[in-house]
Structure 1
Amino acid sequence: MGLEHEFYLIPNTVDVKDFWVHRENNNSVIDSEVIHDNLILYIFDSLEWIPSKNPALSGTPTGLGLNYHGVTLFDKHSFPTLERVFSSWRDLFKNAPTTLELTGEFVYDENDEILGTYEKLVFNRDEVIKLFEKIISMTLHIANGDCYLYHCGI
Structure 2
Amino acid sequence: MALEHEFYLVPITIDVERFWMNRENNPEIIDRVGIHDDIILYVGDTLNWIPSKNPALHGTPAGTGINYYGVTLFDKASARNLKNVFSSWRDLFLNSPTTLELTGEFVMLEGGGQAGQYEKLVYNRNEIIKQFEKIISFSDRLSEGNCYVYHCGI
* TM-score interval (norm. to shorter): over 0.9
Q: How far apart, CA to CA, are the structure 1 residues paired with 2:107 and 2:52? A: 31
* Partner secondary structure for residue 83 of structure 1: helix
| Residue 128 (structure 1) aligns with | 128
Instruction: Indicate conservation of the 8 Å contact 1:7/1:149, yes or no.
Output: yes
Q: How far apart, CA to CA, are the structure 1 residues paired with 2:47 and 2:106? A: 21
Question: Letter of the aligned partner of 1:65 in structure 2?
Answer: G
Q: How far apart, CA to CA, are the structure 1 residues paired with 2:81 and 2:117? A: 33
Q: How far apart, CA to CA, are the structure 2 residues paired with 1:141 and 1:114? A: 48
Q: How far apart, CA to CA, are the structure 2 residues paired with 1:112 and 1:15? A: 49
Structure 1: 4+ residue segments shifted above 2 A: 109-116
Deviation of 1:24 after TM superposition, in Å, equals 0.6
Deviation of 1:139 after TM superposition, in Å, equals 1.3
**Superposition map of 1:1-154 within 5 A:** 1-110=1-110, 113-154=113-154
Instruction: Indicate conservation of the 8 Å contact 1:107/1:114, yes or no.
Output: no
Q: Say which is worse superposed, 34-43 or 130-139, in terms of deviation.
A: 130-139
**1:50-103 CA-partner distances (Å, limit 9, x unpaired):** 000000000000000010000000000000000000000000000001110000
Instruction: Indicate conservation of the 8 Å contact 2:109/2:117, yes or no.
Output: no
Identical pairs, percent: 65
Q: How far apart, CA to CA, are the structure 2 residues paired with 1:93 and 1:114? A: 33
Question: Letter of the aligned partner of 2:97 in structure 1?
Answer: P
Instruction: Indicate conservation of the 8 Å contact 1:108/1:115, yes or no.
Output: yes
* Partner secondary structure for residue 136 of structure 1: helix
**1:134-153 CA-partner distances (Å, limit 9, x unpaired):** 11111111101100000000
Consecutive unaligned residues of structure 2, counting only runs of 5 or more, are none
Consecutive unaligned residues of structure 1, counting only runs of 5 or more, are none
Instruction: Indicate conservation of the 8 Å contact 1:3/1:37, yes or no.
Output: yes
TM-score by length of 1: 0.97
C-alpha RMSD over aligned residues: 1.1
